[in-house]
Chains A and B, each alone.
Chain A
């Protein structure tokens, strides 16, 4: 991969240089370029009457990259300019990405806080017409907790055992096939998992219920648990296993008493992150649990709601009162997922196996 620039005069081999030092840009240069670019972006934006702030931002970003490159190649040299170009592009990427993500969080929090209160968390939508304010998310919370709980009960043991198989026993074609299909399974869209359970329901004549949704969620969860558990088990040093085996302990006891306890922090983290991921799934719930305005605490029978489904439902009603409810439920869901994440990562840090990295 040659990075030839044709117009640069070839130097004789071996290359000689005169001095170790050359003119350099001051340290504040990037900040200066950024300020100038933002000014230009705002200036051009207001001057030409562009309404969208997105356009202003893009203009400023383009100026920043161009100015950085041009100035550096004038003051320093081509290689430094290329380096500076890369740096400015990377910074621009970062800003480009952070803005929408921050906006997402900001909008959710600021709009969600409006109707989020104790009443909202403890009441269902029973008897509340969609176009009127009021009602709450209690039935959806119950649904989410039960469906996610059931999915975890199904997928955690399967995932854990599969990971143990792959790391501790897995050799040969079966292990290879399982590894491959775990990867493939990670990529199954949630709606396909939903359709799979739906086809079973159609064949067996089953009615929608929380359990059906939970099964679909379990399919989505298993590969995540397998992957994270596998990673954690691999981090357990082989010396530990050998030390225990050398004492004459049977292998299964080594796994149960040495390997898994060493990795338990990481495994818990993996499971919690998997829970956080499936808690936000809407599509399977829509197909399999059907949604309900009422409290149904029995996940094995009858329609249930769930938080993400509730958001979708309220969004579809399509008026200010329902949008408010949708944002409030979104805030509850984000809080739920984030707390799971934070706790999981906290556990990971606290229980991290010492790997010397």
Chain B
């Protein structure tokens, strides 16, 4: 189910601009890996290369290899659609389909992938909403539009939508940055639960959050504005926050820059 990601020599461009340069790392299954770093260091770009979402941005281009267990996501006959189906994503701002009901939002991914009986759909929707800790709040209004929920609820709805198709990996791009502290807490709890089943990668600006939820942390940095972002180090979260092996990491974490 949850799979290991093995990245080697990955470089991504926006047109002629090199956004990230030569990144290699391993993401362990059934764990939470956090990406931290100053703005513009390419951590979100890197995240989006892990499910081939980078190439949908105009001018987006990727070189290198991303192995999901034993399959290269950038292999020759690989269908990006199948990749995105296997590697789910949750975005910075909650983005439920505005014209769809809560139920249809969660069921959207399933409906794309085949036929389900009404009862099967209902079952998956309930399981996913429970998995996203949202079921109790919405079970009486599944047919209301998803855009009527609060920001935090919408984000959990998006998580439910992503896990409904049972992906192998869940990518989260600053999932709490648009939310208030209480909703943030709810999402963080949820992440800890979800790592039992999925490989989770989370980009965050909030170092406390990285320290709270992640098992491993990767620190990204860039030499100067306009320069490509690089991976500085990746290690156990505890080590990164207590005794990092690179000086730049310590400077960043202790707030001396960035």
Contacts and interface: CB of A to CB of B under 8 A. Distances in A.
Within the complex, are A and B direct neighbours (CB within 8 Å)? Answer: yes
Interface of A: 1-6, 8, 10-11, 13-15, 17, 19-24, 79-80
A22 B115 contact: no
A134 to B, nearest CB: 55
14 contacts: A1-B104, A3-B111, A10-B115, A10-B120, A11-B113, A13-B110, A13-B116, A14-B166, A19-B82, A20-B68, A20-B71, A22-B77, A24-B77, A79-B112
Contacts of A6: 115
Nearest to A13: B120
Contacts of B166: 14-15
Contacts of A19: 71, 82
Contacts of B113: 11, 15
Contacts of B86: 17, 20
Given A10-B115, A21-B76, A79-B81, 15 more contacts: A4-B115, A8-B114, A10-B120, A11-B113, A13-B124, A14-B165, A17-B82, A20-B73, A20-B75, A20-B78, A20-B79, A20-B83, A21-B82, A23-B77, A24-B79
Interface string B108-127: 00111111110010011000
B116 A10 contact: yes
Interface string B77-111: 11101110110000000000000000010000011
B187 to A, nearest CB: 23
B227 to A, nearest CB: 24
Contacts of B110: 13, 15
B117 A10 contact: yes
B57 to A, nearest CB: 16
A3 B121 CA distance: 13
Interface residues of B, number: 27
Nearest to B52: A20
A13 B75 CA distance: 28
Which of A2, A6, A22 has the largest number of chain B CB atoms within 10 A? A2
Contact of A15 (B73, B75, B114, B117): B114
Contact of B115 (A5, A20, A23): A5
B77 A21 contact: yes
A10 B115 CA distance: 5
Nearest to B77: A21
B114 A10 contact: yes
A8 B77 CA distance: 24
Nearest to A14: B166
With a 10 A CB-CB cut-off, give which of A11, A17, A20 has the most chain B CB atoms. Answer: A20
Contacts of B82: 17, 19-22
A13 B79 contact: no
Contacts of A21: 71, 75-79, 82
A290 B81 CA distance: 63
A58 B174 CA distance: 50
Interface string B212-245: 0000000000000000000000000000000000
Interface in B101-158: 104, 110-117, 120, 123-124
Contacts of A22: 77, 79, 82
A11 B111 CA distance: 12
Nearest to B85: A17
Contacts of B85: 17
A79 B84 CA distance: 15
A11 B124 CA distance: 13
